[in-house]
Amino acid sequence: MKEGEHIEYYSSEVESKDGEYIEYYDTGEILSKCNYLDGKRHGSYISYFKSGEIWSKINYLVCKFHGEHIRYYSSGEVSIKSYNINGNVVSELEWISYSRNIKLGLLVL
């Protein structure tokens, strides 16, 4: 494999993308895990830094953000957090910067 390429693995039939789908970095570490239903993202999606730490957690309802959406710094601290219903942000969207000791927020309803 060439640098930057990755391997994909499906736990069920490839064409339909039903079930769990796992994507790998070219060096073998897990890049992301996602569930599909009828070819659409549905359920949990988790992506990872190459180190294995979680980079983001997102829930989908038939291909739309639904539920909590969290992104993390490589240190494990939360960088962005929001809550979505059927693709719409319904909570305060928080950006958190630990290096500057500030917490920014944007209320979107």
Query: Please, what CATH class does the domain formed by 7-107 belong to?
Result: mainly beta
Tell the burial category of 36 from Cβ atoms under 10 Å away from its Cβ (0-12, 13-18, 19+): buried
Nearest by Cα to 32 from 3, 13, 58 = 58
pTM flag (> 0.85): no
Mean pLDDT of the chain: 78
- What is the pLDDT at residue 101? 54
Q: What is the pLDDT of residue 18?
A: 84
The 3 state secondary structure assigned to 42-76 is EEEEEEECCCCCEEEEEEEECCEEEEEEEEECCCC
| Domain boundaries of the chain, sorted by first residue | 7-107
Contact 45, 33 (CB under 8 A): yes
**Residue 89 is which amino acid?**
V
Nearest Cα to Cα of residue 68 among 57, 79, 78: 57
